[in-house]
Amino acid sequence: MKPFVTLVGAGPGDPDLITLKGIKAIKKADVILYDALVNEELLDLAPEHCVKIYVGKRAERLSTKQESINQLLVDYALTHGHVVRLKGGDPFVFGRGGEEIAFVRKHGIETAVVPGISSAIGLTGLQQIPLTYRGESESFWVITGSTKDGNLSEDLYQAVKTDATVVVLMGYGKLKEIVELYQSYGRGELPIALIQNGSLPTERIALGTIDTILDEAKEKLLGVPAIIVIGEVVRKHQDFETLKVHFHE
In this prediction, residue 244 carries a pLDDT of 59
Give the pLDDT band (50/70/90) at residue 245.
very low
Question: pLDDT by residue (tens digit) across 66-76?
Answer: 999 999 999 99
Query: Domain check: are 99 and 123 in the same one?
Result: no
Provide the annotated active-site residues. Answer: 35, 57, 170
In this prediction, residue 13 carries a pLDDT of 96
Which CATH number fits the domain that encloses residue 209? 3.30.950.10
Query: Domain check: are 106 and 124 in the same one?
Result: no
Flag whether pLDDT at 197 surpasses 50.
yes
Write out the residue range of the structural domain in which residue 80 sits.
Answer: 4-114
Q: Averaged over 78-82, what is the pLDDT?
A: 98
In this prediction, residue 149 carries a pLDDT of 84
Q: What angle do the packed helices 97-106 and 66-80 form, to 10 degrees?
A: 50
Q: Which of 114, 134, 164 is the last residue of a domain?
A: 114
Query: Domain check: are 171 and 77 in the same one?
Result: no
In this prediction, residue 59 carries a pLDDT of 56
Classify the phi-psi angles of 112: left when phi > 0, otherwise alpha if psi is within -120 to 50, otherwise beta. Answer: beta
Give the pLDDT band (50/70/90) at residue 40.
very high
Evaluated on CA atoms 87, 91, 94, 96, the torsion sign reads positive
Flag whether pLDDT at 180 surpasses 60.
yes
Query: Domain check: are 145 and 109 in the same one?
Result: no
Which CATH number fits the domain that encloses residue 43? 3.40.1010.10
DSSP structure string for 159-211: HTTSSSEEEEES-GGGHHHHHHHHHHTT-TT-EEEEEESTTSTT-EEEEEETT
Flag whether pLDDT at 61 surpasses 90.
no
User: Taking the model in full, what pTM does it have?
Assistant: 0.92
Average pLDDT of the chain is 94
How many domains does the chain divide into?
2
Q: Which of 114, 149, 180 is the last residue of a domain?
A: 114
Q: Averaged over 51-59, what is the pLDDT?
A: 85
Give the pLDDT band (50/70/90) at residue 51.
very high
CA distance 90 to 38: 11
Give the pLDDT band (50/70/90) at residue 150.
confident
Question: pLDDT by residue (tens digit) across 93-127?
Answer: 999 999 999 999 999 999 999 999 999 999 999 99
Edge to edge, what strands does the sheet with 51-54 contain?
51-54, 31-34, 82-87, 4-9, 110-114
CA distance 75 to 73: 6
Percentage of the residues of the chain whose pLDDT score is greater than 90:
88
Q: Which of 90, 114, 138 is the last residue of a domain?
A: 114
Give the pLDDT band (50/70/90) at residue 60.
very low
Query: Domain check: are 108 and 176 in the same one?
Result: no
Give the lowest-confidence range in 15-19, 52-56, 211-215, 244-248. Answer: 244-248
Buried b (16+ CB within 10 A) or exposed e, 166-176: bbbbbbbebbe
